[in-house]
Amino acid sequence: MAVRAAVLPAIGAPLEILAVELPAPGPGQVRVRLAAAGVCHSDLSLSNGTMRVPVPAILGHEGAGTVVAVGEGVTHVAPGAPVVLNWAPSCGTCHACGLGEVWLCADALTGAARVHARTADGTELHPGLNVAAFAEETVIPASCALPLPPGIPLTDAALLGCAVLTGYGAVHHAARVRAGETVAVFGAGGVGLATLQSARIAGASRIIAVDVSPEKEDLARAAGATDYLLASDTTAREIRALTGRQGVDVAIECVGRAVTIRAAWDATRRGGRTTVVGIGGKDQEVTFNALEIFHWGRTLSGCVYGNSDPARDLPVLADHVREGRLDLSALVTDHISLDDIPTAFDTMLAGKGGRALVVF
């Protein structure tokens, strides 16, 4: 059966909306009808080559939907079950998984090289980040289908698959924000807004949001920001002024640019923690001198998928949603169709909006 999908024909090429043929789910696979898919900056990074994937490919990795069929051996979900797509399933056997660091699984993205679907002329298509969520339906490994906990609207649940797991994990797992600490979040897109909400949930005493767009201030404040700064050459100085000249306890960078990583580092107090969530290109080089590393005593760390274990963290996030502490709908600034994804990419490039959500 043919379904419509957003296909990346080549790195740097515009997306094409095409009819594609999906196979029936084989052993250990699940077919899912998408309810919604978030448009993440990582999809843009895949399209422009910042992150490398086999092409042509169907992009999209943040989604939720309903199981329509399962292959042999699949028992944890059945047709009719609502699921969240997990684009980075852990193998459970590699070195990282053995250490309990499932977000660093060496085999998490091996599925991106498989043949996922074909166009009408027989061209083989790959799943961009395993799950190919920019399509009306997808066939995925069973490990990529996480049962959706009850009480969560299916459309909103798409955000749990990347933005929220990443933002929540950045705060609670990577930076380990403690109640009463001060936090600065650089970037108020989908992940940044989820990070702001998560800092509020953690009990941060002051939450400073930084972004290039004045239009995002209301979104950031609604998510939990106590202060909002427009990014500039003086951002770090302004943050120190707001924190008794000390700097924040924790700075979380959600952009992936050398200038914002450096600003986040400079805005962190002596002995504080700087966590980088944003995915930057190899040309984005950040420099430090040896004396400042000694003097400031700060910790600089990366963060992959929020250092999260989706199977462990999804029920926790669902509880926050049900109790009203986490507002998924507040992360979404645009509800769009599959055909509107290229426009959503342009919006991200312009630094505008929060999360655009494709609703099928």
pLDDT in tens, 261-302: 999 999 999 999 999 999 998 999 999 999 999 999 999 999
What are the angstrom distances between the C-alpha of 197 and each of 79, 133, 163? 33, 25, 11
Least confident of 199-203, 205-209, 343-347: 343-347
Q: Would you say residue 322 lies in a domain? A: no
Q: 89 and 233, same structural domain?
A: no
Q: Would you say residue 135 lies in a domain? A: yes
Q: 174 and 48, same structural domain?
A: no
H helix runs in the chain, sequence order: 41-48, 95-98, 154-157, 163-169, 190-202, 217-223, 235-242, 258-266, 290-296, 310-322, 341-349
Least confident of 197-201, 232-236, 348-352: 348-352
Q: 174 and 37, same structural domain?
A: no
Q: 246 and 294, same structural domain?
A: yes
Residues whose CB is less than 8 angstroms from the CB of residue 202 and which lie 6 or more positions away in sequence, other chains included: 171, 172, 177, 178, 179, 181
Per the structure, the count of domains in the chain is 2
Q: 157 and 29, same structural domain?
A: yes
Q: Are 28 and 71 in contact (CB under 8 A)?
A: yes
Q: 155 and 6, same structural domain?
A: yes
Task: Tell me which residue range forms the domain holding 292.
Answer: 167-304
Q: 171 and 154, same structural domain?
A: no
Give the pLDDT band (50/70/90) at residue 225: very high
Q: Would you say residue 259 lies in a domain? A: yes
pLDDT at 1 over 80: no
Q: Would you say residue 264 lies in a domain? A: yes
> Looking at this protein, which amino acid is placed at residue 154?
L
With a pLDDT cut of 90, the percent of the chain lying above it is: 92
Q: 296 and 340, same structural domain?
A: no
Tell me which residue has tokens 């059966």: 1
Two tokens, residue 7: 């296909």
Average pLDDT score over residue span 149-173: 96
In a 10 Å sphere around its CB, with 0-12 CB exposed, 13-18 middle and 19+ buried, how is residue 290 labelled? exposed
Average pLDDT score over residue span 119-136: 95
- Identify the pLDDT of residue 49: 86
* C-alpha–C-alpha distance, residues 226 and 203, integer Å: 12
Average pLDDT score over residue span 176-192: 97
Give the pLDDT band (50/70/90) at residue 20: very high
- Give which of 88, 84, 298, 275 is closest to 171, Cα–Cα: 275
C-alpha neighbours within 13 Å on the C-beta side of residue 140:
37
**Mean pLDDT over each residue of the chain, to the nearest integer:** 96
Q: Would you say residue 318 lies in a domain? A: no
In a 10 Å sphere around its CB, with 0-12 CB exposed, 13-18 middle and 19+ buried, how is residue 240 labelled? middle
323-359, pLDDT tens digit by residue? Answer: 999 999 999 999 999 999 999 998 888 888 789 999 9
Reduced to 3 states (helix: H, G, I; strand: E, B; else coil), residue 76 is coil
- Identify the pLDDT of residue 93: 96
- Identify the pLDDT of residue 357: 96
Vertex 330: Cα angle to 325 and 332 (nearest 5): 140
Q: Would you say residue 282 lies in a domain? A: yes
- Identify the pLDDT of residue 350: 82
pLDDT at 254 over 80: yes
Give the pLDDT band (50/70/90) at residue 183: very high
Q: 114 and 40, same structural domain?
A: yes
Q: Would you say residue 346 lies in a domain? A: yes
Q: Would you say residue 309 lies in a domain? A: no
- Max distance between CA atoms of the chain, in angstroms, equals 64
What are the angstrom distances between the C-alpha of 123 and each of 1, 5, 9, 119? 16, 14, 10, 5
Average pLDDT score over residue span 115-134: 95
Extended beta strands in the chain, E state: 2-8, 16-21, 29-39, 57-58, 62-70, 82-85, 117-119, 124-127, 137-141, 145-147, 182-186, 206-211, 227-230, 248-253, 268-276, 299-302, 332-336, 355-359
CATH number for the domain spanning 97: value is 3.90.180.10
Two tokens, residue 108: 């998490």
pTM of the model: 0.95
Q: 292 and 215, same structural domain?
A: yes
In a 10 Å sphere around its CB, with 0-12 CB exposed, 13-18 middle and 19+ buried, how is residue 334 labelled? middle
Q: 295 and 347, same structural domain?
A: no
CATH number for the domain spanning 236: value is 3.40.50.720
Q: 178 and 107, same structural domain?
A: no
Reduced to 3 states (helix: H, G, I; strand: E, B; else coil), residue 69 is strand
Sign of CA dihedral 150, 151, 153, 157: negative
DSSP-assigned letters across all residues of 139-157? EEEGGGEEEPPTTS-HHHH
Give the pLDDT band (50/70/90) at residue 77: very high
